[in-house]
Structure 1
Amino acid sequence: MVLPHGYPFEEHEVTTEDGYILTVYRIPYGKNTTVPGPRPPLLLQHGILCSSAAWVLSEPDKGLGFILADAGYDVWMSNSRGNTYSQKHKTLDPDKQGKEYWNFSFHEMGYYDLPAVIDFMLAKTNHSQIYYVGHSQGTTQFYAMAATRPEYNAKVKVMSSLAPIAFLQHTRGTVRVLTYISNTLKWFAERLHIYHVLNDNFFLHLLDQAICRKTAITRPLCDNLLFLIAGYDSQQLNISLVPLIADHTPAGASIKQLIHFGQLANNDGRFSQYDYGKSLNMKMYNTELPPEYDLTKITTPVMLHYADNDWLSSEEDVSALNKKLPNSKMVEVPFAYFNHLDFMWAIDINPLLYDKVIELLKQF
């Protein structure tokens, strides 16, 4: 997806403190750069059930990985543990030792994955700070990291949050229904020994190709499935991208990830660590309730880009996050029907979002 467009491309492996081996891709400079010199490193972090592919599915004039490289950044695209490109571990086999391998949520992605990737980037580029752009869970991971490992605030010049997720009191649609039954899903998963879902496999690819290809009579089903999750917005859906999106997503997630987000939607407005239940919480945290992330420790400037039609990241929840962050700014996407997935793949993505994102990044 990158090399055919004439951009330079690198692949790196980063090992975390707890043994997970992550694949990180890099576009070190733009297509039209004749003499690549020192460029500010920027980390792009995908959301849940996605991968680094999300940033380069679109053509170079609309894919954020390409756009940022052309704007003068050294672009790094990380893959969170457990997704299509990051299923290695120093000692654990995700298939044979599934219970141990998949025992993580966004907390571990923030506490272990992001620091490992950031330190790797800084060592490779000889810089002292990076820029950070995250979408959905990619924002949640950052808040978890910056609150629990506040020393990393000094390593991030500015953080751009696309569809921020911390509080989930006002989610809508299908996702809201799923949060109500998260405890039931947890009960079934434990008894059926299911530790992860929706991973990249042959069956899913076959289904994608059969249902989502351009000429398939069932193609509208794919479009509407996206709407059910993210919010309706046929005006901005790039129809030509749907088969590509279906081929690269979902990229897998742990059951614990999904349950943790469900807990955020049902815990009276607390942005907190994973809830194991009172007795286990006492062992894990020495308190009956899981500790809240202390958002006042996040000193990095944070740009909160939100949209009215986003069923997952509502204006009310983003506003609640903005009030708790010491150095943040809310930035509304100027289109009433812009949804959660439009932050990556909208037709008019540049004038509606990316131009503003880059303008704010350049201020730092």
Structure 2
Amino acid sequence: MKKLVHFLTWPTICGVLVAIILMQQFPGLVGINNTAEQDTPQVTQAVYNSNNSPISSTDPVVIKQENVTVSAARTGPSSYSHAVKKAAPAVVNIYTTKIIRERQHPIFDDPFFQDFFGYNQMPKRKRMQSSLGSGVIMSPEGYVVTNNHVIAGASEILILLQDGRETPARVVGTDPETDLAILKIDLDNLPSVTLAPTRNAEIGDVVLAIGNPFGVGQTVTMGIISATGRSKLYLNTYENFIQTDAAINPGNSGGALINVHGDLLGINTAIFSKSGGSQGIGFAIPSEIARDVMLSIVKHGKVIRGWLGLETQQFTRELADAFGLPHIEGILITGVYRNGPAFQAGLKPGDLILEINSMHAREGRKVMYQVAQMRPGEEVSIKIIRNGIEQDIKCIIGLRPSLSGLQEPSRSRH
């Protein structure tokens, strides 16, 4: 018996040792998973159905999913330096100087002294007031777009480029109704921006604001587009702002709002703030408007806009009740400029405009902006309701006069 046990012991021990070695080196042969491999996520290309669940060979719809890790799919660009390098050289700092005349002593505010000396003859002293802003070089010829309020009343305008060059600038023209101004500088080898079509911009797109806030030098801030087509801010006559939460501060006015490719989306122009600093609500004028204003001023010396010669307001439910009409989407004519296009076409205060050239008239400022894009001399068809009856009236678009040339409209039926 002892001989039999001794005979079986060595083969058994050898078998156990071989099994242990196999388990350690080839765990898959015995159905054991490797713990180290479990800790490393395996990324494989999966196929899903329309419910985003794995499909079998019998599912009718097959959609392929990109072979990427979860972390890679959720991670955006780590840097926008390429966009900044492309656009920043065309963004300039603008320094302006104004001559301010003021009375030397508060005693001259007294009506007696004003009557004695004559108001315009009152002793005054001069002082220089400096301000700052930003601008964007739109073309290699040296045309610079900025805000009108940046250079308004300036006696001297100095522009500083990113490459360190300084040069005086002259005003080619201004457009207070969009708060834009066109400057000209005379330097060689000027950089310029590339324009991006703002119709492709969407809420949530990443944008960068480049400018000269508080005079600290060129600065870049990042945010997203918060809204497009923003109006009713009553900042300008024509409003179609891009709203962004990219930090915009005093001195940023006239600077560039660019996309992640370094192309110009808009000209930064205003902030909504109770403190005077950035609170995440900034507004930019779309690049197409800046381009059109620049080209019109360079070619004609002024901005050419279509004009009907109307004042309107939105037709609300309260107005509908007052007029004894059902609530209809439209704009109510409240005033007509005498001898203007609408006056000559026979439109009257109290008429309700439903459509202009088949475009629904839902908001007065948007309709005015659409009319401004039309060419003077173009005929338009205006659908109105007058005394409860629909009518179609033909009207020839006129040339909008300057703000100083506009007279008070007639607000009574004629």
Q: TM-score, normalised by structure 1?
A: 0.24
Structure with higher RCO (Cα < 8 A, 6+ apart) = 1
* Bigger strand fraction: 2
* Bigger helix fraction: 1
**Which has the larger Rg?**
2
